[in-house]
Structure 1
Amino acid sequence: MKSSAIAIGMLALTSGAASAQTNVALYGIVDLGVKYEKGLSTAGGTWAVASGQQFGSRIGFRGTEDLGGGLAADFLLENGFNADDGSLNNGGRLWGRQAWAGLRGGFGSLYLGRQYSATYNALNAIDPFGLNQAGDAQRVYGYGLGKVDPISRSDNTVTYATPILNGFKAALGHKFGETAGAFNAGSSKFIGLSYVGGPLNIQASYQNTDGVALGAATTQLGSIIVPAGLGAATVTVKNAFMGGMYDFGLIKAHLGYGDTKLGAVGTTTIRNYLVGASAPVAGGTAIASWNRTNLRDIAAGASNQYAFGYSYPLSKRTNLYTSASYTRNDGGVRLSAASNGDSAREFQAGIRHVF
């Protein structure tokens, strides 16, 4: 009896010690606001209550376990939801934003699962509008491909990231297409390079993705608009991006350049240019950007997006925000618009709470 009590006590102590080395955190964002759209999918204007205008509404679990010797096991499960009606985002997936696990140590990190791509990370780091606001660059990058899986997020993916060395970091990723007898079918390969030091932030990425679905029924901001001449198809997409941000103190300058090629049923070359600025104003942050999309294979094929925004903190975890954009398309282009040559307008105002 005495030995049994001692054994139980030792087991409890061992379990407690293991638990003490494991850290699991619940976190999330609730982002809600009012928006006005005109010309994005229909000619008329629409008012709506919308979720995730500044940052996608989410709830997630982040965990790490110290394995000793500088080695740790990490995992992350992140759900995206629409706070305006309570429905799931990201195509109805339970963990549609991220779902991965792996190891981290002196060698860097190695993770497996659904993860952000190099393109997504590079654009997010440079664009003053981030991921979701009215002027964000991902909605126009590669003619709207920036918001499409697997350009933005990759399933069945293995990534390796080096340790940060004097501000430099590299990341490699491979998405398995999981197609019998065809290793490259449906796969994606990407690489990201970055330098962050002092006032300077430089980001670069390259991605080669097979099996990106294009269809005439899809629309930009939900998926993509198919460039004229391509038609409905599944294509290979090669996209590269390089950008930088420099903090001058009173103002931050944002610059970016992207090159995207759609292949398999022809070649369409898309060039993207980003010029932006962000600055502290009246206790908050003001942002502005110009994004130009040039479809080089289409006559008069260019689109220009102009945007302004402002965010004001009410506390460390809650802020108010607003943003507005105007997209002007040339005659052969309908980026963010219902028909070729149409212009588009969007206005957002809302509140974001982080927990």
Structure 2
Amino acid sequence: MMKKVCWAGALAAACIDAVAADSAVNVYGLVDVAIVRETGGSAGDVTKVTSGVGAGSRLGFKGREDLGGGLAAVFLLESGFQADTGALGQGGLLFGRQAYVGLQGGFGALTAGRQYTPHYLTVVMADPFASGYAGDTKNLIAATGNSASRMDNSLKYVSPAIRGVSAELVYGAGEVAGDSTAGRQFGGALDYNAGPLHVRLGYHNRNNDTATVRNTSNAKNTVLAAVYDFGVVKAHVAYGVNKGLNSSLLRNTANPYGLPGTPVASTDSRDMLLGATIPYGPHTWMVSWIHKDDRGAPDQDASQYALGYRYALSRRTELYTSIAHIVNRHGASYTVGSAIEGGSGNGAVDVGIRHAF
């Protein structure tokens, strides 16, 4: 009997070793903390120590299992947190940054769960500040409104790249009983990335119908972005068109992600970004100008001017500082935030450190 137990244990151990050989799970993370000075707020200026300024602090688990024949199972679970307080980010969600599982192979990748929208990823690609620091595009560009960066209940397909060209498609179920279209989202992107040129066209469409709000127009966001690497400098440009209710929302301290409930800034607007990234050894300079052109009756335009600097102490640790200022017109009240916070006024400066592991 003892021999049988030993053989069974040895066989189980061998099976576990075989599975481990075909699988890989990586634990990774990022911790970002900065001192931030916000100015121009209605309640006065404020100085704070906060987390997720350059990039959201996170702890993630990423895995892949080889299923044979070029097919693999993949998953990602990523939790956001506030390094200054230890609190969970994204409204207290355990894996609020991303949570998905799927299959990957020669056909591309098909995943299901909570994922980034193709439109948001297009904006991030064009942003010299990579959707963080004081110069964050989310301060003005529509990704804070309709797209809200991430989609729940989503199915996403990413094609393989052929001669630098790839595509993304995503669908998110609204899950409202009795109405299959209420809260439904879908979007996509077409991407070209070869040599020094990266061009991306992103689109997102959200049905605003909910159990309490019916027969409203869909929010539609389209953005064309390009980055060209000249070697000594990278040039960034983006142009976005926003149409419909909730297609472009004000961003404020109470709700930095522009979710329903925040004041509507416009139902018809255009976004323009011009910027540059200047690397020099461990030094990187970032600069951008963003303009929101409100086509509605209030004509609530706004322009943001931003400058930033990063110093790489190593491949995983950097020091940074950035400053941004927004000029609001005709009652607009856009604020200068950061990677995960909306900010309280039209100006901000930050000095921080982030470490990846």
Per the shorter chain, which TM-score range? 0.7 to 0.9
Return 5+ residue gaps in structure 1 as ranges.
Answer: 214-232
Deviations 1:139-169 (CA, angstroms, capped at 9, x unpaired): 2112xxx235753100000001111111111
- 2:170 is aligned with 1:188: no
Question: Which residue is equivalent to 1:334?
Answer: 333
Given that 2:229 and 2:235 are in contact with CA atoms closer than 8 Å, whether structure 1 keeps it comes out as yes
- Residues 267 and 96 (structure 1 numbering): CA distance in 2 closer, same or farther, change over 3 Å? closer
SS of the aligned residue for 2:188 comes to strand
- Structure 2: any 5+ residue segments left out of the alignment? 247-263, 337-343
Of residues 233, 242, 255, the one that matches 1:260 is 242
Question: Are 1:113 and 2:113 an aligned pair?
Answer: yes
* Structure 1 stretches of 4+ moved >4 Å: 1-5, 264-267
Report SS of the residue matched to 2:218.
strand
In structure 1, distance between residues paired with 2:266 and 2:277: 36
Aligned equivalents of 2:346 and 2:222: distance in 1? 26
Q: TM-score when scaled to structure 1?
A: 0.87
Structure 1 pair 149–29 and aligned structure 2 pair: CA distance change class (3 A) = farther
Following the alignment from structure 1 to structure 2, what is the Cα–Cα distance between the partners of residues 179 and 248? 49
Residue 234 of structure 1: CA displacement?
7.5
Task: Measure, in 1, the Cα distance between the counterparts of 2:298 and 2:290.
Answer: 19
What is the aligned length? 328
> Corresponding residue for 1:316?
315
Query: What is aligned with 1:37?
Result: 38
Partners of 2:227 and 2:68 lie apart in 1 by: 37
Matches within 5 A, 1:3-152: 5-39=6-40, 41-142=41-142, 146-148=143-145, 150-152=147-149
Confirm whether residue 167 of structure 1 aligns to residue 161 of structure 2: no
2-structure distance, mates of 1:99, 1:170? 21
SS in 2 for 1:123: helix
CA distance in 2: counterparts of 1:245 and 1:254, whole angstroms: 5
1:242-280 Cα shifts (integer Å, max 9, x gaps): 010000111110000001112399982110000000112
- Contact 2:147 2:204 survives alignment (8 Å): no
With over 3 angstroms needed to count, the CA separation of the structure-2 counterparts of 1:346 and 1:43, relative to structure 1, is same
| Further displaced range: 9-18 or 58-67 | 9-18
Question: Percent same amino acid among aligned pairs?
Answer: 41
Give 1:20 shift: 1.5
CA distance in 1, matches of 2:221, 2:44: 33
**Retained in 2: the 8 A contact 1:212–1:237?**
no
Question: Structure 1 pair 46/153, CA: closer, same or farther in 2 (3 Å)?
Answer: same
- In 2, the alpha carbon distance for the partners of 1:334 and 1:96 equals 27
C-alpha change, 1:4 and 1:33, in structure 2 (3 Å) is closer
Q: Contact 2:120 / 2:147 at 8 angstroms: preserved in 1?
A: no
In structure 1, what is the equivalent of residue 173 of structure 2?
A: 176
Partner of 2:255 in structure 1? Answer: none
CA–CA distance in structure 1, aligned partners of residues 323 and 239 of structure 2 = 22
- Distance in structure 2 (CA, Å) of the matches to 1:235 and 1:82: 36
Structure 2 CA distance for aligned equivalents of residues 201 and 266 of structure 1? 31
The residue correspondences of 1:273-292 to structure 2 (distance < 5 A) are 273-281=272-280, 283-292=282-291
Offset of residue 346 of structure 1:
0.7
CA-CA distance at 1:334 after TM superposition: 1.8
| CA distance 1:235–1:54, shift in 2 (3 Å) | farther
SS in 2 for 1:83: coil
Native 8 Å contact 1:255 1:276 kept in 2: yes
- Could you tell me which amino acid in structure 1 is paired with residue 78 of structure 2? E
Tell me if the contact between 1:169 and 1:193 (Cα under 8 Å) persists in the aligned partners. yes
| TM superposition shift of 1:133 | 1.2
Tell whether 2:228 aligns with 1:246.
yes
- The residue aligned with 1:224 is none
